[in-house]
Structure 1
């Protein structure tokens, strides 16, 4: 009702949401105005701090001085270009380890667990690289599980705090985060060999593979820390917490998006022949054996895979409201429709409703895997890509604070789905009657069916 009665009429509206505050929904017409506002007036960082409450789960400095994220954002594209083959190598190893290589019998897989492991290993390969200590660690399932343990602890704390009013936070926060120290200690113990290896390289005591300095995210963070935050860099605990913040941004929603994507891929196969289309595309861009080199051109040419991913984000986005900002200007701010947004107010824009608006998308509630890979001129959305953002596609937010990791998500999803369809047959269990299990909405978040299962069988050569 808020979307139809207010957002569609270019009007702001105050709505109750799950959490300590009410929220002001701005209309999509205010999107560009909102994204152009200076951080000194309307803050994205302050909104993130308010929502995630890292001060309780990790510590205030990791929220208010997120330098690890800035370092990663600046270096991510160059690291990715260098690491395509390494990440794909990890994808193949992770998929094979979890799904097996049996070409005769079908195997039932708990999909969400598989998605977390595969995404976790692929992401950590980019983070830890190919150094003697880094490469083996990213292949360690216990390490990946430990990463998710810390991540889940952060989410649990944020969830508990969102469920109560702010006066109770000083009591609820420490209680909700009571297991975090143990989780961080476990993760730090596993990271310690890599940390000592990289500090040794910086101090000239050890050398990287082939005498080269590793070109990965962990090395960038350590190098920056030694130069700009020397006291913090000397602490394994501090660096572990920086990596935990990074994992929150690179592993959580990617796992959920992959989970939704694979359900959609299998669920749409009967009508759209989705899996065969993806196999054909993979052969076209990577060769018959699938061993072609990965690069930006290959990724850009995967128009069917790109469309499947974008349609998944459009219809099954994890977030219902996006472009969240906290009004930090002491005197408040006046929105384009004349409404005064007071200091301390949280504002956002409805994403799911905009992404399922019948005036923008034909048959908007129907999943069409190749909606965005039609020929030029056939659809007004034909040139839209998975990583592009607009007022009608907000899964990655929009503007200068749009998710910087969306290009990594794009890379990982295309690598995973390409390898999966090339090497495996996939279908739903017979009890599903070929129907995709449905997502549910809770507190503004689109929750996929976390207990969903799929059947897999290795394809014969």
Structure 2
């Protein structure tokens, strides 16, 4: 389950619920003065960018920054990124889907962290087990993938995952809802079938 946990965390890293996390509004009447001298005015909304999101540059002061430098770039989906980081001595209990902190703020952090994240983790792992055990799935009817326009790729062309999108007028960042995913039920012999049909 360590690799499934890593896959979920990598999926969440590539597609965080929002472009920013830990949203707050400044309620202090005089705002908040930072150590740099800057003042964040009263009634300003703020959020924090996930440090390992594919569209960010992590600060080198983070503990897992050296390990991340030895792995594929953050713009690439690499499902075992975090299980490999957990293989390092002293890191066995870190880099988990439900863990919060400076390196993973998708579930918030501290007293306001999501209390249901362990249930969400167990539920997602159960769904993943069912998908893997029951279905063959791909981005094309025969696993050949699709271009962004939806036409099938030619033989030998690189398979690319559909680009995520930012919902207009929001900070929500999500997988492209127009992308087709095909499932074939191994037990029933049904498929290939587009989920959108």
In the superposition, the TM-score normalised over structure 2's length comes to: 0.69
The aligned residue for residue 41 of structure 2 is: 342
The aligned residue for residue 79 of structure 1 is: none
Q: Name the CA distance, whole Å, in 2 between partners of 1:379 and 1:366.
A: 26
Q: 2:134 aligns with which of 413, 423, 431?
A: 423
Q: Is 2:164 aligned against 1:439?
A: yes
- The 8 Å contact of residues 13 and 52 in structure 2, kept in 1 or not, is answered as no
Q: Is 2:114 aligned against 1:403?
A: yes
Query: Match of 1:457, SS?
Result: strand
Query: Match of 1:355, SS?
Result: coil
Q: Which sections of structure 2, spanning at least 5 residues, go unmatched? A: 147-152, 154-158, 189-197
Q: Name the CA distance, whole Å, in 2 between partners of 1:345 and 1:455.
A: 44
Q: Which has the higher helix share?
A: 1
1:116-141 CA distance string (max 9 Å, x none): xxxxxxxxxxxxxxxxxxxxxxxxxx
Q: Is 2:151 aligned against 1:453?
A: no
> Would you say how many aligned residue pairs link Structure 1 and Structure 2?
159
Cα distance, 1:327–1:317 mapped onto 2, change above 3 Å: same
Query: Match of 1:347, SS?
Result: strand
1:203-261 CA distance string (max 9 Å, x none): xxxxxxxxxxxxxxxxxxxxxxxxxxxxxxxxxxxxxxxxxxxxxxxxxxxxxxxxxxx
Q: 1:377 aligns with which of 74, 84, 88?
A: 88
Q: Which has the higher strand share?
A: 2
Q: Name the CA distance, whole Å, in 2 between partners of 1:338 and 1:411.
A: 44
Q: Name the CA distance, whole Å, in 2 between partners of 1:379 and 1:312.
A: 24
Q: Name the CA distance, whole Å, in 1 between partners of 2:28 and 2:92.
A: 37
Q: Name the CA distance, whole Å, in 1 between partners of 2:100 and 2:53.
A: 11
Q: Is 2:80 aligned against 1:355?
A: no
1:378-414 CA distance string (max 9 Å, x none): 7969821001122232211222112222222211110
Q: Name the CA distance, whole Å, in 1 between partners of 2:13 and 2:181.
A: 23
Offset of residue 308 of structure 1: 0.4
Q: Name the CA distance, whole Å, in 2 between partners of 1:459 and 1:394.
A: 37
Structure whose CA Rg is larger: 1
- The 8 Å contact of residues 136 and 185 in structure 2, kept in 1 or not, is answered as yes
Q: Which sections of structure 1, spanning at least 5 residues, go unmatched? A: 1-301
Alignment of 1:285-296 (within 5 A): none
Offset of residue 354 of structure 1: 4.4
